[in-house]
Chain A
Amino acid sequence: MVLSLKNWKVALLLSIILPTSLLVAFRLTGLLHGALTISETKMLESVNLDIERPDDMTDIKDDVNSTYTDAELMMGCSVFVDDLGGNILSMIVKVNVSVVRGFVGNLNLTFWEAFENSRLDFWSEDYWLTAYSHGENLSISDHVDFRRGSGLKAFLELRGENQSKRVYFDGFVDWWLSSPSNYTHHMELNVELIYFNGSVFKKIIQPLQLTIGPDNNNSPDLADSIQMGTTYSRLYLGVDDEVDFYKVNVPQGSTFYVKADVKEEMHPHPDFEVLVYDPHGNLSGSSPHDYHHYLQFDANIGGEWLIETRVYWYCRGFYSLIVDFT
């Protein structure tokens, strides 16, 4: 009787202790690891794109992009700004990720702006990943756009499918500026990648910043300083921005040229004139209304030379400018 009493008590204890101990031991030794937590978060350096704000429908066709590579992954992010039309900036966001080991868990995009009236529109997002957007090894788990107020304007949460090592996404995003043309907007897109490297989950955040606003170099006193030998592109002239001024430091006795161009495949492109003044303010040369300009000078006076670009009646668009030694 005593033996049997002991037996069932021992069996009772073992039936609790044995499975529970096994569970704890398996977890502590890593045989079972349960849900994992993000062990490391890395914030990458922000990349920026400044765009001069056109005052009407204009091709922009410029992009901001970043590529991050380390021993575990390669992540490429870009925002292509196509054009501005009707106060709406049309963009394409692309993200391309490859991990060496493990898999991509989540890819989240968040769009932030302080200006209250603007909106972010995921254009036809109901068809995303099937039309108007492409994705490889990704599915949309949540998305919200057209948010009102300051701060988070839109977000898109994508989930990695089939524990894939490579994912790709692109989609159309319209940025409704909803502001007068002299207002400067700043938007930040955070591309947040969560990936499993074979042993732990890690998070990488790549911020991409877009600024769009009018220039301020509309008089000789406000002329932008430029460097010899550097090409400046995405310079805008239009109805509300008829003239730009630039100053460049030229050593005495050197020979230099001023070259200004438009890309004729961009629509519209401005017909404009270029005027160059010496450091005393005397007009040294000019190029009449055209799309392409080339002027050459002997700098008999050293100092800051002034360059003026002036658009022809009602023309508008982007041009580029370079000043360099011959």
Chain B
Amino acid sequence: MNSFFDSTAIFSKRGMFLALLNLLFFGGVFAVVTVSEWLFPPSLDLNVRAPFLEAFFNGDFYVSAFAIFIFNLAWSVFVFILIPGFFFFPLSITSLFFRAFIWGSLLYSQPTWILLVAIPTVILEGEGCVLAAFAGTLAGASWVKPEWVYCGESLGRREAFGRSLSECSAVYALVIVLILAGAVVETATLMVI
């Protein structure tokens, strides 16, 4: 609960930046879907589903949900979005947009009914990715230019980075909750599809 309040405080200071990242992700998904449909006219859905769905979905709901949760948390969010930002903060944003591109590319080629059932998953997992990119950018920028992240506070690079890491952990707790909820919803969605 403390983490939630901690993260609310973190967001309130940088709320507009978070809103901008959200716009980048969800607007990106929308833009990729629209542009893809314009550039590549609709192909016929011959009811062939991607094999990676089968790999995750072995019939057991809990095992599948857990596998999706671990994969998304460890690979899609932690390794792919959060960690790169620590080293070079624009990488988190780039990875976030790439994630939006992947979602958009996957969704554009789906029939409408699949897109509609996938929307809750997109929102939950997408918001998890946005928060991870937010945390990654924060931590990465903190040691490059501490005054960008903590303006008005004269902090050294090491001090700013240490503080951003503690803020990151609070944000990441929220990311875990969102990715877990997303994995449960995604598993249920895959059952429907």
Measured CB to CB, the residues of A under 8 A from B are 4-5, 7-9, 11-12, 14-16, 18-20, 22-24, 26-28, 32-38, 105-106, 163, 194, 196, 201
**What A residues does B16 contact at CB under 8 A?**
7-8, 11
Min CB distance A22 to B, Å, is 6
The answer, among A12, A27, A28, A35, for a CB contact under 8 Å with B18, is A12
Contact B115–A34 (Cβ < 8 Å): yes
Contact B127–A8 (Cβ < 8 Å): no
From A16, A33, A194, name the one whose CB has the most chain B CB atoms within 10 angstroms.
Answer: A16
Other 8 A-B pairs with CB < 8 A, given A24-B116, A27-B116, A34-B108? A4-B15, A8-B16, A12-B19, A18-B27, A20-B30, A23-B115, A34-B111, A34-B112
Contact A8–B15 (Cβ < 8 Å): yes
A34–B110 alpha-carbon span in the complex (Å): 6
From A4, A15, A20, name the one whose CB has the most chain B CB atoms within 10 angstroms.
Answer: A15
6 contacts across the A-B interface (CB closer than 8 A): A8-B11, A8-B15, A16-B22, A23-B30, A34-B107, A35-B42
Min CB distance B178 to A, Å, is 12
**What A residues does B19 contact at CB under 8 A?**
8, 11-12, 14-15
- B79 an interface residue at 8 Å Cβ cutoff? no
Contact A36–B15 (Cβ < 8 Å): no
A20–B37 alpha-carbon span in the complex (Å): 16
- B152 an interface residue at 8 Å Cβ cutoff? no
Contact A19–B26 (Cβ < 8 Å): yes
Measured CB to CB, the residues of B under 8 A from A are 11-12, 15-16, 18-20, 22-23, 26-27, 29-30, 33-34, 37, 41-45, 47, 107-112, 115-116, 119, 122-123, 127
From A9, A28, A106, A194, name the one whose CB has the most chain B CB atoms within 10 angstroms.
Answer: A9
A28–B29 alpha-carbon span in the complex (Å): 17
Min CB distance B116 to A, Å, is 7
Majority DSSP secondary structure for residues of A touching B = helix
A8 to chain B: closest residue by CB:
B15
A12–B37 alpha-carbon span in the complex (Å): 27
Contact A35–B20 (Cβ < 8 Å): no
B17 to chain A: closest residue by CB:
A8
**What A residues does B33 contact at CB under 8 A?**
23, 32
Contact B37–A34 (Cβ < 8 Å): yes
The answer, among A9, A194, A201, for a CB contact under 8 Å with B15, is A9
